[in-house]
Amino acid sequence: MMKGKPVILVVDDQIQNIELLEAYLVGQGYEIIRAASGEEALEKLSGNQIDLILLDIMMPKMSGLELLEKLRADEKTRLIPVVMVTVLKETEDKVKALEAGCDDFISKPVDKIELLARVKSILKISYYLRQLDEKEKFKAVVDKISDGIAICGPDYLIKDSNEAILKYLNIVDPANINLVERLFKNYSVSINKEALMDLTVAHKTFDIVGEKTETTEALYLEANLDLIKNSAGELLSVVFILRDVTASRTEELLKQDTLTLISHKLRTPLGVISGKIALFQDGLYGALNEEQKEAIGAISKQSSLLVSMVEELLGFTIVCSHSS
């Protein structure tokens, strides 16, 4: 769960108290860092990764309560669990310590069994609190990203997601949602289900299209899928990242439709013009003098050039439609 030895900072102005706690803890696999004052404790905290603080409440200059308040006000140290080691018995003093943010108390003289039990329990709770805090920070950042992100298990059930993907896929509650089934049920997907679920390919890129309805606009999503495996090659998670490309795709389609319309509208009259020119050249409208032949030839040449340009334009729109 935790890597390496847990590091405990012991803060006490009496060296014999530090030595006693150190003797109890080192033999149980904990690393101890000493501090004889609140000021020294702050210095040690700035240069070490501390997992737990055992703090004497009665110290000269900066008291344990004053140090605790500083720790809780600092973003870097606010989550470090603090156990107050004290001879104080008054409820009022304990309330002050709790209000300042201490996690537990151990009374002097310190009982070894009680100390070890509380340290083990608090470190375990602290680990999960830090994990939760990091997850909340991560989610707060991810929820601000415009790309939709979903992390699924090997069964493609959504384990975690940001707000964007829920909005894109019209999901109210992601619990027990199979993302692959959802996609193929409600959207047009550019690859088939078997290819999407092929675990031999670690990365896939594909398109998702939501058709326009009476109540919704068309939606075009560019999707990336990545498989997350452990060192043994076992599948841990499937990550989907969806990017809304509706604006650019709609613009492309509009351009293609416009080009297609223009080319078709030009093609018909050009065909009529070319046909009439051929009739003139074949003499069906009477004999042409040399000047008329020259004029008809020039018109025919330009007409053929326009026909070629229209054919190229049609070919371009067909290629674009197949690639999008």
Report pLDDT digits (tens) over 28-47: 999 999 999 999 999 999 88
Cβ contacts of residue 26 below 8 Å, gap of 6+?
Answer: 32
- Determine the Cα–Cα distance for residues 178 and 91; give it in Å rounded to an integer: 53
The pLDDT of residue 5 is above 80: yes
The pLDDT of residue 213 is above 50: yes
Question: 123, 31 in Cβ contact below 8 A?
Answer: no
Radius of gyration of the chain (CA): 37
Helix, strand, coil shares, percent, the chain, to 5:
50, 20, 30
In the DSSP assignment, the letter for residue 121 is H
> If pLDDT is split at 50, 70 and 90, which confidence band does 221 have?
very high
Beta partners for 9?
A: 33, 53
Question: 71, 53 in Cβ contact below 8 A?
Answer: yes
Report pLDDT digits (tens) over 115-148: 998 898 888 887 777 766 666 666 676 777 888 9
The fourth-level CATH superfamily of domain 148-244 is PAS domain (3.30.450.20)
- Residue 157: closest CA among 187, 179, 172, 173: 179
CATH code of the domain made up of 7-141? 3.40.50.2300
What's the full length of the chain, in residues? Answer: 324
Residue 261 in tokens: 């319309």
Give how far Cα 3 sits from Cα of 22, 35, 49, 312, Å: 20, 24, 12, 66
Q: What is the dihedral of CA 310, 313, 314, 319, to 10 degrees?
A: 160
Angle at 284 between CA 297 and CA 286, to 5 degrees: 80
Burial of 192 (0-12, 13-18, 19+ CB in 10 A): exposed
Percent of the chain with pLDDT over 90: 38
Beta partners for 150?
A: 161, 240
| Identity of residue 260 | T
The pLDDT of residue 183 is above 60: yes
- Residue 2: closest CA among 145, 122, 104: 122
Per the prediction, the chain carries an average pLDDT of 85
Q: Is 48 helix (H, G, I), strand (E, B) or coil?
A: coil
- Residue 85: closest CA among 60, 62, 118, 61: 118
Give how far Cα 38 sits from Cα of 62, 73, 133, Å: 5, 15, 26
- Determine the Cα–Cα distance for residues 238 and 222; give it in Å rounded to an integer: 16
- Residue 181: closest CA among 211, 155, 203: 155
* Predicted pLDDT at 2: 46
* Predicted pLDDT at 263: 65
* Predicted pLDDT at 1: 42
- Determine the Cα–Cα distance for residues 281 and 51; give it in Å rounded to an integer: 97
* Predicted pLDDT at 322: 53
* CB count in 10 Å sphere of residue 249: 18
Distance separating the N- and C-terminal Cα atoms of the chain: 48
- Mean pLDDT over residues 287-307, rounded? 85
The pLDDT of residue 291 is above 50: yes
